[in-house]
Structure 1
Amino acid sequence: MDRIEGDTPTPQPNPRRLAVDTLLDAPLARAGDRARELREAGFDGVFTFEGPNDVFLPLVPAAAAGVDIMTNIAVAFPRSPTHLAHTAYDLHLASHGRFRLGLGTQIKAHIERRYGAKWSRPAARMAETLRAVRAVLTCWQRETPLDFHGEFFDLTLMPPTLRPGPNPYGLPPLLAGGVGRRMITTVAEHADGLLVHPLNTDLFVRGPLTDAVNDGLVLSQRTREGFSVMLDVIVAAGRTEEEMRAAIKGARAMVAFYASTPAYRPVLDVEGYGALQVELHALIRAGRWSDIPHAVDDTLLSRVVAIGDPKDVAAELASRAYGIADRLGFYLPYRADPACVAEVLDELRART
């Protein structure tokens, strides 16, 4: 992997403090104000995802809020490497060096039928996309010709008049998501960091995922200290029975939805729940959406989700991140009381 000495602020694990990010859950018109609210609530950063709204636009007003900003994730394959490089460059500049570009593959049906793009060999395509985006950014940073040749992209035209010039904050870190072993190894070989999908368990993360990361780092001749891991975890925290019921209901629905996807089955297989993916997928194909949460039992829920009062949740989050992650993605699939969230963050800070 091409590196530029002194230019790439590659994130590194920090054993003294765990950074915590959460979803920027606001429409575009309120994104800046919401980012400031989340900063004041104690979060280090905010992220967007490729959902019902654009993944990049809300980060423009959020860039001025004094928090780290990132995509978690932006779907890579429908976009050209040059488009991704331009957006990453501008957001990194606008946020004073606090942007991270997080990419993901999505699945074949979405790539072909939702985006009208090509799907083939996702691990190879992701590896080349990361290399191509870095090649464009490097061209601008070093002010050298663009000369990238690969299986999917040939990038050779970048006139001086179309180059933004060196970014004073260096190259934005490039991260990518992965669940299967091949994709995780690919990310560890070619990216600056890994985004761990929120459907994960401690057994999966410390077993197959860590093994795959180590394989990729060997291939790239890097050490773990030069690679970032953001561990996304679904949280169900409450201080009363009513709060806990709402939290668990939201968390169970999210786990069921993710667990229905064939690409995420490796996590279930590790826990002995592989057959559940087939069951959930069949329910969705039959249109029985209201039935899928009931298929997720309490045992699996407790292995995926950090559940309990603020102290218990904080202890669980700290334990799962310890020795693995330098950042934590805090997922709240329900309307949580801000005071409860603040308690979790305070307790977490005391442990990390």
Structure 2
Amino acid sequence: MSRSVSPGIVWATSAPAAAGPGHLTCAKLAGMGSLWTVDHLISPFPRSVWDTDFSFLAKGSPTPDEAFDFATVLGHLAAKAGKVQLAVGVTDPHRRHPVSLAQTFLTLAHLTRRPPILGLGAGERENLDPYGVPCDRPVTRLAEAVQIIRRCFDAEGPFDFTGEYFTLDQAVLDLRAPQGRRPELWLAAHGPRMLELTGRYADGWYPWEPVDPDEYGRRLREVHDAAKRAGRDPAAISAAQVLTVVLGRDAHHVRRLLGAKSVRYLALLADARAWRSFGAEHPLGPDFRGAMDLLPHRYSRAQVEAAIDAAPAELVASRVVAGTPKQVRARIGDLVDAGLQHPVLVAASAMVSPADAVYSMAGLLWLSRGLRTRQARISPSVQEVPA
């Protein structure tokens, strides 16, 4: 029996602006279902090491922190999106009030052919701490925000909400989505409380933490169990996964890519527990929680380079899906068997060199075509990426 799969692609939402329409064109050519933007003020890549030795992209951009506002670029792309769903993966309800987020996505629903996706997460320090934005008890704040957003999507006339962090008194948001284009709310959930919120309130599950198929299936069951407890249909919740891929022509090429600084740096986004599982201590501290604690603009060059050097090769490999296109397709297929419906692809190898960028983008298109159904994964009509 075949399983329908709808891949998506991530744009880093950073300069140059032409990269946005370029990614949308790739998504349409490959028959992808979604294009995802991100909402960052600071890039996860440190300014201190941003040079052509780290990534060839530094030649065209003097800083990794040239970040665009996701809502503006989604509005710009809306008229040309066609069948591709436009999404943010993810923003947070700390910098952006939930009612404003609801208004933004209800507006987008009037500009697109398919429902836009509002991806929400609990927030990351790099986008909050430097700007004085409070983020204590982030999951509690998020729980209130998703309830408010749901009300905004559906309420008719004024409504109230009284929470610990948000209070609405006869609030009005009468903007309604066109028929069939009601925005979707997806949550970036990994821990038990976030998985519970996903099952209770969300239209989709959008995790980014790399896990094996067994763990993916276990977490998806937690989402489904929470949906059942809330009286919802578990099958109505879309199951996604952000997949950072490293694509090479052969084993030698893949090993070279895994040794590149920009790829090895991804190990720093793992938490201290993951480092200990590979017999190493995290260079950013024994209690470091991974990407959510990252403050890349505060790390010195010496600190970052020492951390990159300290990363065990096995840990680096565990943070990505690496291999030839056929090998990567097979590994993603294992996740599909565990319940994945929406693999959202990021090509880490595209940062290494111009030639690797071309090969990686061609590989993403090939992967998308091959993953759209379980039958397509083994279809002889799908051509291999040219060497």
- The letter for the 1-side match of 2:147 is R
Contact map agreement 1:92 1:98 (CA 8 A) in 2: yes
For the pair 1:316 / 2:342, whether they are aligned, the reply is no
What is the CA–CA distance in structure 2 between the aligned matches of 1:311 and 1:215, rounded to whole Å? 34
Percent of paired sites with the same residue: 23
What does residue range 142-221 of structure 1 map to in structure 2 within 5 Å?
143-158=156-171, 163-207=174-218, 209-210=219-220, 212-221=222-231
Report the TM-score, using the length of structure 1 for normalisation. Answer: 0.80
Q: How many residues align?
A: 325
Equivalent residue, structure 1, for 2:11: 24
For the pair 1:129 / 2:145, whether they are aligned, the reply is yes
Q: Comparing both structures, which one devotes a greater share of its residues to helix?
A: 1
For the pair 1:278 / 2:275, whether they are aligned, the reply is no
* Cα shift readout 1:129-173 (whole Å, capped 9, x = no counterpart): 00101111212xxx33323332222223345xx633453334211
Deviates more, 1:301-310 or 1:91-100: 301-310
Cα displacement (A) at 1:101: 0.3
Equivalent residue, structure 2, for 1:5: none
For the pair 1:289 / 2:290, whether they are aligned, the reply is no
Contact map agreement 1:47 1:69 (CA 8 A) in 2: yes
Higher relative contact order (CA 8 A, sep 6+): 2
Contact map agreement 1:175 1:191 (CA 8 A) in 2: yes
Contact map agreement 1:239 1:340 (CA 8 A) in 2: no
- In angstroms, what is the RMSD of aligned CA positions? 3.0
For the pair 1:258 / 2:269, whether they are aligned, the reply is yes
What is the CA–CA distance in structure 2 between the aligned matches of 1:120 and 1:315, rounded to whole Å? 41
Among candidates 65, 81, 99, match of residue 65 of structure 1: 81
* Cα shift readout 1:70-118 (whole Å, capped 9, x = no counterpart): 00111222211110011010112211233110011223x4464234222
What is the CA–CA distance in structure 2 between the aligned matches of 1:340 and 1:286, rounded to whole Å? 33
Cα displacement (A) at 1:276: 4.5
Contact map agreement 1:236 1:251 (CA 8 A) in 2: no
* Cα shift readout 1:249-269 (whole Å, capped 9, x = no counterpart): 36743531311x46xx5xx38
Cα displacement (A) at 1:274: 7.7
What is the CA–CA distance in structure 1 between the aligned matches of 2:304 and 2:102, rounded to whole Å? 38
Equivalent residue, structure 2, for 1:48: 37
Report the TM-score, using the length of structure 2 for normalisation. Answer: 0.74
In structure 2, relative to structure 1, the CA distance for the partners of 1:273 and 1:74 (3 Å cut) is same
What is the CA–CA distance in structure 2 between the aligned matches of 1:166 and 1:39, rounded to whole Å? 24
Consecutive unaligned residues in structure 2, runs of 5 or more? 41-66, 289-295, 351-356, 379-387
Contact map agreement 1:185 1:212 (CA 8 A) in 2: yes
Contact map agreement 2:123 2:135 (CA 8 A) in 1: no
